Amino acid sequence: MADLYDTYAGALYGYGYRRLGSTTLAEDLVQRVMTRLWQLADRYDPSRASVRTWVFTIARTSCIDLHRAQPPAAATGDVPEAPGPLVEGIDAELERLLHGELIRGALELLSADHRQVIDLCYFAGLSQVEVAARLDLPLGTVKSRSFYAMKALRLTLEELGVQP
């Protein structure tokens, strides 16, 4: 747990501060996430996602819970603290990294054939005709693999709560 805390507490705090606009709530987020990690440790499945993805998926859910639990600012008279540009830049980078990590984890769950077609089409920039020629497959097979790979990828990302 100490290693998890040392590795992720700062990034979780920055994520919470940007999302919730309060140092107190950001600290609460770190505490909630670490508690959930401790409680759910036996449920972690490395074949589904990396530790980082798992940590920030819990953080995202906890952040939503913390936000919902807060009374509206108008009712309390409190004005949330405004995050500075440095925090916003760090959080935007963290959000981008988290999204990328979630996509990488979802790609790892695809079959080797599906992942190969996705890699060539979307990351190498080849057309389906070029992929078919490179893999020596019929064009229809490449189209089917691409379609089903994207469908599986979309479903996996939806399960993780990510907008594809």
- Model confidence pLDDT, tens digit, residues 97-125: 777 777 777 788 888 999 999 889 887 88
pLDDT at residue 130, rounded to an integer: 92
H helix intervals, the chain: 2-20, 23-40, 51-69, 73-76, 85-108, 112-118, 128-135, 139-159
Q: Return d(Cα 110, Cα 148) in angstroms, integer.
A: 10
Range 110-164 classified under CATH 1.10.10.10? yes
Domain borders along the chain are 1-109, 110-164
- Is the pLDDT at 73 greater than 70? The verdict is no
pLDDT at residue 75, rounded to an integer: 46
- The model's confidence at residue 86, banded by pLDDT at 50, 70 and 90, is very low
Residue 20 — left, alpha, or beta (φ > 0 → left; ψ -120 to 50 → alpha)? alpha
